[in-house]
Structure 1
Amino acid sequence: MPKTYSDSERAYIKKRLMDEAYICLAQFGVRKTTVDELVKRVNIPKGTFYLFYPSKELLFFDVFCSLHNELQTTLLHWIEELQGNINTDTITDLIYRLYKQVDSTFIYTFIANGDLELLVRKLPPELAATHAQEDDFAMRHLLSLLPGTHTEDTIKIFSAVLRAIFCTMLHKREIGEHVFDDTIRVMLRGVVLQLFEEDTL
């Protein structure tokens, strides 16, 4: 019979699992990280792991979503800090700062080595759909500050455009590392200029 844990014990174990999963994702990736490795790091029986997550993939997705939500919270905080100082330069700088913040995490490696694609394939389809909707939420909040009327289609398209620019971060070497940051700024500025046009799309 599996051991029962108090709420505080469960919270502690879950946090430890997520912390160690984050480290493993950054160092080894999805394929090379096993449940055995995770439970060894957290010092719990293997059976206890499955009280929290049916699979390692769901734990990894939880870690990915937690980081994603943290980045979105940072974005919303930066938006509030603008205090109405909304123009092409400030919005371009804000989104660029977010991209650089992402660059300091494991996310680019996670995508480049195919781990995100592998993870999504092994997850229930509704989880991936929910993740995309959360991206649209952040875009909706950003667009609410800008002039012009932005439809649901506009929100979805510009969310996708920003994800596309995000994906170019995976090709820093091919684009040229010495011009890469400036290239990202130019692309972001082009998107932001369109966002400021009332009749975009």
Structure 2
Amino acid sequence: MPKTFTEKERQYIKQRLMEEAESCLVQYGVKKTTVDELVRRVNIPKGTFYLFYESKELLFFEVFCTFHDHIQKEMLEQLNEIKQNATAKSVTELIFRLYKKVDQSFLYPFLTNGDLELVMRKLPERLIKEHSEKDDFSMERLLEQLPGIKETDVRLFSAALRAVFTTMLHKREIGEDSYEDVLKLMIYGIVFQLFKEESR
């Protein structure tokens, strides 16, 4: 990073790139968004972009990960508030609300139009593996908030919740008028198994 940028300037440029990348995802998608468009919006030279990101895909992946981490953090905070009286139903409602938040965000078109898959194909395998491991770790932290569920197979339940998340790709096939009820039923099935594990 050139010395001409202060730490404050670096943070500002990075934040602006992420904001404009999210905006471009909604407007154009990954394929139609160019580095030229991003730097034009942020008002920086093209060479400066590459001081921050090796490719636009890495920028989009960071936008995705930042939103993902925000959702996970919110889930942990809300779960911490209800953990003393947590039931399968209350945990299901919590997870359902967060899935709805994702559904109404930039992430929904990012998933449904194939942009996430496109970005993932162009990323180093190491980054994908790190993200998956971090996702499992976050789920472990979530499960630890529920008393007595520490022995649960964290990877299995983390993968199950990711599988439910991907049903957003098939909302039309499932039926948009009944999708939310189906989503809640699937979440409840997973959460019920967690509480069942606790009672063993």
* Band of TM-score, shorter chain: over 0.9
- DSSP 3-state at the match of 1:69: helix
Q: What is the deviation of 1:8?
A: 1.1
CA contact (8 A) 1:147 1:198 kept: no
State the Cα deviation string for residues 85-133 of structure 1 (Å, max 9, x = none): 1111111111101111111212221122111111111111111111111
Segments of 5+ residues of structure 1 without an aligned counterpart are none
Q: What is the deviation of 1:199?
A: 7.5
AA paired with 1:111?
L
Question: Distance between the aligned counterparts of 2:67 and 2:195, measured in 1?
Answer: 29
- Percent of aligned pairs with the same amino acid: 57
Partner of 1:23: 23
CA contact (8 A) 1:72 1:138 kept: yes
Partner of 1:13: 13
Cα gap change, 1:26/1:173 in structure 2, threshold over 3 Å: closer, same or farther?
Answer: same
Partner of 2:134: 134
Partner of 1:113: 113
Q: Does 1:187 align with 2:183?
A: no
Question: Distance between the aligned counterparts of 2:148 and 2:186, measured in 1?
Answer: 21
Question: Distance between the aligned counterparts of 2:150 and 2:101, measured in 1?
Answer: 27
Q: What is the deviation of 1:198?
A: 2.6
AA paired with 1:191?
I
Greater than 4 Å deviation, 4+ residue runs:
147-152
RMSD: 1.9
CA contact (8 A) 2:83 2:146 kept: no
Question: Distance between the aligned counterparts of 1:66 and 1:185, measured in 2?
Answer: 25
CA contact (8 A) 1:86 1:145 kept: no
CA contact (8 A) 2:80 2:145 kept: no
Q: How many residues align?
A: 199
Per the normalisation by structure 2, the TM-score is: 0.92
Q: What is the deviation of 1:151?
A: 4.2
- DSSP 3-state at the match of 2:119: helix
The correspondence of residues 47-196 of structure 1 with structure 2, limited to 5 A, is 47-151=47-151, 154-196=153-195
State the Cα deviation string for residues 120-151 of structure 1 (Å, max 9, x = none): 11111111111111221222122223354544
Question: Distance between the aligned counterparts of 2:145 and 2:3, measured in 1?
Answer: 51
Question: Distance between the aligned counterparts of 1:3 and 1:130, measured in 2?
Answer: 30
Cα gap change, 1:18/1:6 in structure 2, threshold over 3 Å: closer, same or farther?
Answer: same
State the Cα deviation string for residues 6-34 of structure 1 (Å, max 9, x = none): 11111111111111011001211111100
Question: Distance between the aligned counterparts of 2:183 and 2:71, measured in 1?
Answer: 18
Q: Which moved more, 1:134-143 or 1:49-58?
A: 134-143
CA contact (8 A) 2:164 2:186 kept: yes
Question: Distance between the aligned counterparts of 1:17 and 1:11, measured in 2?
Answer: 10
State the Cα deviation string for residues 147-183 of structure 1 (Å, max 9, x = none): 545447x111111111111111222221112211111
Cα gap change, 1:57/1:93 in structure 2, threshold over 3 Å: closer, same or farther?
Answer: same
Segments of 5+ residues of structure 2 without an aligned counterpart are none
